[in-house]
Structure 1
Amino acid sequence: MDAALIAVLGTLLGSVVTHYFQGRATVRGAELARAEQLRQERIASYSGFASALFDYRRSQNDRWFRAQEQPGAPVAEAARFASYEARIAARQALALVQLVCDVPRLRQLAETAFELANCLHEATDEEDRDRRSQRCKDALTAFVEAAAPSVQ
């Protein structure tokens, strides 16, 4: 009788311990899956932002050059409207970064890069445009370098 009771208690204890560890493994697996999904979302949003901002910077440079060559001409107006479309795409990409990024410094770097691109077309001369364009490029590089460790 004692042996049967010990066997039953051992079986129950084994079942409880197994249930506990399986529960922990399930929770841990879910946490890992969520962390990987967030990492993938960050990679997509950070790279999407960088791509959109490079395009916005290019369109702002094009806008500036077209306005200098032929102010008010159809080609200058087309470049201006193209820069508006690029700004919308960059702003949307920035919003995604702000949603998935939990590092205030990283969000600030993204916002700074966007603002530098946004003001690029206001350059007064070629030297000013070059300086603004380079500052924007440097700010975007700083964002990418700061973001890289969080997605590796």
Structure 2
Amino acid sequence: MDVALIAVAGTLLGVIATHWFQGRATERTASLARTEQLRQERIATYSAYAGAVVDYRHSQNDRWFRALKEPGSEEAEESRHASYRRRTNARQALFRVQLVCDDPDVRRLAELAFEEAHCMHEAEGEAERARRSAQAKEALAVFIAAAAPGLR
């Protein structure tokens, strides 16, 4: 009788231990899956944002050159409207970055990259435009460098 009770108790302890370890393994697997999904989402979001800012910066340069070449021309107006569309795309991409990024410094750097690209068309001369373009490019590079470690 004692042997049977010991066997039943051992079996119950084994079942409980197995259940506990399987539960922990399931939680760990689910956590790893969530982490990987978030990492993939951040990679997609950050790269889409970088592309949108590059397009916006390019359209701002185009806007500046067309306004310099022929102020008020149809091409200058078309370029201005194209830069507005690119700004909207970049701002939407910035909102997505703000939604998936949990690091306030990276969010701040993303906002700075957007603002640097935004100010380019206000340049007074070629030297200032080139400087602002370089600043916008550098701000985006700083954002990418800050975001990259969180993606590994």
Question: 2:101 matched to 1:101?
Answer: yes
Cα distance in 2, alignment partners of residues 108 and 2 from structure 1: 69
- The corresponding residue for 1:137 is 137
Q: How does 1:1-152 map to 2 (within 5 A)?
A: 1-152=1-152
Aligned length: 152
d(CA) in 2 for partners of 1:10 and 1:95? 56
Q: Distance in 2 between matches of 1:140 and 1:17?
A: 51
1:14 maps to a residue whose letter is: G
- Aligned counterparts of 1:117 and 1:67: Cα–Cα separation in 2: 17
Hey, what's the Cα distance between the residues in 2 that align with 1:80 and 1:54? Answer: 16
| Alignment-mate amino acid for residue 72 of structure 2 | G
1: CA distance, partners of 2:58 / 2:68: 15
Unaligned runs of 5+ in 1: none
Distance in 1 separating the partners of 2:55 and 2:73: 22
* % identity of equivalent residues: 63
Residue ranges of structure 2 left out of the alignment (5+ in a row): none
RMSD: 0.5
Partners of 1:18 and 1:113 lie apart in 2 by: 52
Q: TM-score, normalised by structure 2?
A: 0.99
CA positional deviation for 1:105:
0.8
Alpha-carbon distance in structure 1 between the residues aligned to 2:136 and 2:24? 47
Which letter does structure 1 place at the counterpart of 2:92?
Q
Query: Could you give the per-residue CA deviations for residues 78-133 of structure 1, whole angstroms, max 9, x where no partner exists?
Result: 10010001000100000011111111111111101100111100000100100000
Moved over 6 A (4+): none
Could you report, residue by residue, the CA deviation over 1:4-46 in whole angstroms, capped at 9, with x for unpaired residues? 1111111000000000001111111111010001101110111
After TM superposition, the score normalised by the length of structure 1 is 0.99
State the AA in 2 paired with 1:149.
P
Structure 1, residues 42-63: CA drift from partner, whole Å, max 9, x if none?
A: 1011101100000000000000
